[in-house]
Copies of this chain bind each other. A is one copy, B any other.
Amino acid sequence: SRNIRLAVIPGDGIGTEVVAEGLKVLEAVGTKIEPTHYDLGAARYHRTGETLPDSVLEELRGFDAILLGAIGDPSVPPGILERDLLLRLRFTFDHYVNLRPVKLFPGVETPLADTPTEDIDMIVVREGTEGLYAGTGGVMRRGTPHEIATQESLNTAHGVERVVRYAFEQAKSRPRKKLTLVHKTNVLSYAGDLWQRTVNRVAEEYPEVTTDYSHIDAASMFFVTQPERFDVIVTDNLFGDIITDLGAAIAGGIGLAASGNINPERTAPSMFEPVHGSAPDIAGQGKADPTATILSVAMLLDHLGLRAEAAKVEQAVADDIVERLAGWAGRTTHEIGDDITARVSG
């Protein structure tokens, strides 16, 4: 079979460091994956003024998958790289499923007191292409006392239904078979009504799945007080952004949280990235935990149909984590990568 073509975008800050470890593991697990690097991010922006040239975007379209480190640097005004690079990739390649497991690995400490490992085990299916991320809105009389700034949340039946269907499929495949819609229907009544009606309608096709609803404010509270309420969550782009960072926090921290930006129809490459950002404050110091990227590599392998390899990487991470209790604090980014690499090679 032909080699799998992987586009690699290390990006900014710790992105480069963690991606290097991810690739090391990918190679060690024995796949025919051929990586091509793209230097997108703050450095290129400063050098050339480019964020994501159209020609590069079209090249990327030809790959089987994309591995991304992290995007963002304080030297670039907020929003530029996020919108013109990261969100442009998600939108152009129709990554309408932003899949973010929230799972507490045995041996990992959660900041929540008295929470058994098995209580934190959910999957958040975050919509990835619409809502407030559409970026529409505007400003009038900027800088004056009469300034008005607007943002628009755009939600379509097409966009909501496809992600809701994906979430029902996920729920159906899990032992608990429970799907919770998280929204704010009592205030965002137009969008909330579309989301709730869509869940209700699709639910009829999934009689084996129990459906539930939680307002985003209550859900945030439940993440901390009763995380066992949740199995699969489906939610919009912004609520999903917030709740998955909270999810990362309760499941042992942002150093472990993986994600996939998925185009389920495979009309364009899916993109895998750690949930964490570029963390400029610790960049270049070997302090970043590459585990989130390595788990994102496992999701990538799974997406490409390499289930055995994916399972091997996941198991290596789980084993590595169990042994962390002894020596975690001391290890550098490289050392963690090396330890996990050794496990998948063995």
Q: Which residues of A come within 8 Å of B, CB atoms?
A: 72, 78-79, 82-83, 87, 109-114, 132-133, 135, 137-139, 141, 143-158, 161, 184-194, 196-197, 216-218, 220-221, 223-225, 238, 241-246, 248-250, 253-254, 277
Q: Name the distance in Å between A149's Cβ and chain B's nearest Cβ.
A: 4
Asked, given contacts A132-B187, A133-B187, A144-B157, whether A149 binds B242 with beta carbons under 8 Å apart, the answer is: no
Interface pair B111/A143, CB less than 8 Å apart: no
Chain B residues within an 8 Å CB radius of A253: 225
| A276, chain B: closest CB distance, angstroms | 10
Give the copy number.
Answer: 2
Are the C-beta atoms of B187 and A83 separated by less than 8 Å?
A: yes
What separation, in Å, do the CA atoms of A242 and B246 have in the docked complex?
Answer: 11
Among residues of B, the one whose C-beta sits closest to the C-beta of A130 is B148
Q: Which residues of B contact A110 (CB under 8 A)?
A: 113
Q: Which of B72, B148, B189, B217 is in CB contact (< 8 Å) with A157?
A: B148
Indicate if the CB atoms of B224 and A224 lie closer than 8 Å. yes
Give every chain B residue within 8 A of A145 (Cβ-Cβ).
157-158, 161
**CB distance B155 to A150 under 8 Å?**
yes
Give the residue of B137, B161, B217 whose beta carbon is less than 8 angstroms from that of A245: B217
Closest to A275 in B: B217
Please determine whether B188 and A132 come into contact, CB atoms closer than 8 angstroms: yes
Beyond A220-B242, A245-B218, is A189–B156 a contact (Cβ under 8 Å)? no
Contact B225 A245 (CB under 8 A): no
Question: 6 extra interchain contacts, Cβ-Cβ under 8 A, other than A112-B113, A132-B188, A220-B220?
Answer: A111-B224, A135-B189, A144-B157, A145-B157, A146-B157, A150-B191
Given A111-B113, A144-B157, A138 and B224 contact (CB-CB distance below 8 Å): no
Complex Cα distance A39/B156, Å? Answer: 39
A-B contact pairs, 16 of them (CB 8 A): A78-B186, A79-B187, A79-B192, A111-B113, A133-B187, A137-B191, A138-B190, A143-B197, A147-B156, A147-B194, A151-B190, A187-B241, A217-B241, A224-B250, A242-B242, A246-B246
> Do B138 and A147 touch across chains, with their CB atoms under 8 A apart?
no
Q: Which single residue of chain B is at the shortest CB-CB distance from A112?
A: B111
Nearest B residue to A250, CB-CB: B224
Q: Which residues of B contact A146 (CB under 8 A)?
A: 156-158
CA gap between A148 and B154 in the complex, in Å: 7
Cross-chain contact of A190 among B139, B143, B158, B245 (Cβ < 8 A) = B139
Known: A220-B242, A245-B218. A149 touches B191 (CB 8 A): yes
- B residues less than 8 Å from A147 (CB atoms): 156-157, 194
